[in-house]
Amino acid sequence: MTIGWHFDNTYSKLSNTFKENIKPTPVHDPELVILNEELASTLNLDFSKTDKKKLAEIFSGNSIPEETNTIAQAYAGHQFGHFTMLGDGRAVLLGEHLVNNDNRFDIQFKGSGRTSFSRGGDGRAALGPMLREYIISEAMHSLNIPTTRSLAVVKTGEKVVRENLLHGAILTRVASSHLRVGTFQYIAATQNIKNLNTLVDYTINRHYPEIKASNSKALDLLNLVMEKQCQLVINWMRVGFIHGVMNTDNMAISGETIDYGPCAFMDHYDPKTVFSSIDKFGRYSFSNQPPITKWNLARLAECLIPLIHKNEDTAVKIATETIDNFQNIYETKWLNMMRDKLGLFGENQNDLKLINELLNWMEINKADYTNTFCYLMNINTGDNKYKNLNFINWVKKWENRILINKGSKEKSISLMRKNNPIVIPRNHKVEEALDAANNNNLELINKLLVILKKPFNNQDNIMNYQSPSDNKDYQTFCGT
């Protein structure tokens, strides 16, 4: 075959503490559901000469590409605040595919069978959640947000048992790596300093080679990961994305969004918005995402204490001061992000007040987060809320602010259009597409994917994709 796989498997060469050598469990009757040809091209992969049956064999794990060394990765995690030793309970890493002998991407099957980390689970995945990850991760990529991506989904020809019997499926996930905060927690819990050093060096070589020669590698790594994670959550806040399960094992060291379980996008602006069926107390609500990011980073800092300084008290002090700086970094980045959303150039002492007045109005009036910024960009969304007198008065203040620093309405709207999506994966449209796919109809998913590929463009006939969901009790599920 001339597909173009070029595997190099550095992670599998680490000691067995880091992983389990295991192959995907073969499936009964695989069938290709969707293939991401654009991503394949980016990876220098060519599937055009491979028929659908063979593709189904490849992406189900029934026929594994040569040069792979399949493993399940070990990691731990704080899940809703409670520490657990985990690992890939339903995922198998094929290896690292090299693009142009330089860019390295993990290729992972999700839903590929049981491993020693399955903890009683079946190791399988259902079609709906795998297609949800495909849709949302590709949407995030188009929204210019760092993310893992989805290369393919296959049906397994087998049923999985959840609340009901569901179609089994396997997703092929592509990531710059699957290193997580939880990976560091797992190795730190073994209290083997040699393995901890190995993990730090591996992470730096893979993601942050600029600090290879540093005399304070662990601290520099912590600072770089904090910067990446801070910027990531800023991007989530920019578009109203709610991850839903920000456990430390779902926090990638690369700064990519990973694990699209109970995720969703906020409709009307409410900082307390939660969609996850298992998040009973709002731990991972929209407004809690920044403080939880800081909390997760503090768990990473704890793992690195032995490497930050020989004296433990000194190391704790340094790590604490580093993590405490997160708030300053976040607040500065958030304010600048909101300025961009509102097309504000330069700085003004009243900017924060102006922004908060808008957010308060949106919350009180249950205004749609995405569509409010569309309205300010003169894009019709069919909503009458914006005739409200308080909003009209706020708009006058905003328009006056735009003119400061040699600004103009045209320049501001141009900036806004780069930062404010016109379409997002509306929850009801995603569910509608998934329901159809479960009945072997992919038309709605394909149409949705086409529209979500250009979220900043004012496309024809998309009003139906801009409307908020009217389901106040909408919930999402982990799919495990």
Asked if pLDDT for residue 120 goes beyond 60, the answer is yes
Asked if pLDDT for residue 344 goes beyond 90, the answer is yes
Query: Closest Cα to residue 146, out of 304, 256, 4?
Result: 256
- The pLDDT confidence band at residue 234, using thresholds 50, 70 and 90, is very high
> What is the greatest pairwise CA distance in the chain?
66
Q: What is the pTM of this model?
A: 0.95
Model pLDDT, residue 1? 53
Q: How far apart are CA 44 and CA 4, in angstroms?
A: 7
Asked if pLDDT for residue 58 goes beyond 60, the answer is yes
Q: Which of 249, 279, 351, 368 is catalytic?
A: 249
Name the average pLDDT for the chain: 95
Asked if pLDDT for residue 8 goes beyond 70, the answer is yes
Residue boundaries of the structural domains of the chain: 7-175, 335-419
Question: In the annotation, is 249 catalytic?
Answer: yes
Q: What percent of the chain has pLDDT over 70?
A: 98
Residue pair 196/187 in contact (Cβ under 8 Å)? The answer is: yes
pLDDT single digits (tens) 433-451: 999 999 999 999 999 999 9
pLDDT single digits (tens) 63-101: 999 899 999 999 999 988 899 999 999 999 999 999 987
The whole-number average pLDDT for the span 184-196 is 97
C-beta neighbour count of 388 within 10 angstroms: 14
Q: How far apart are CA 64 and CA 50, in angstroms?
A: 14
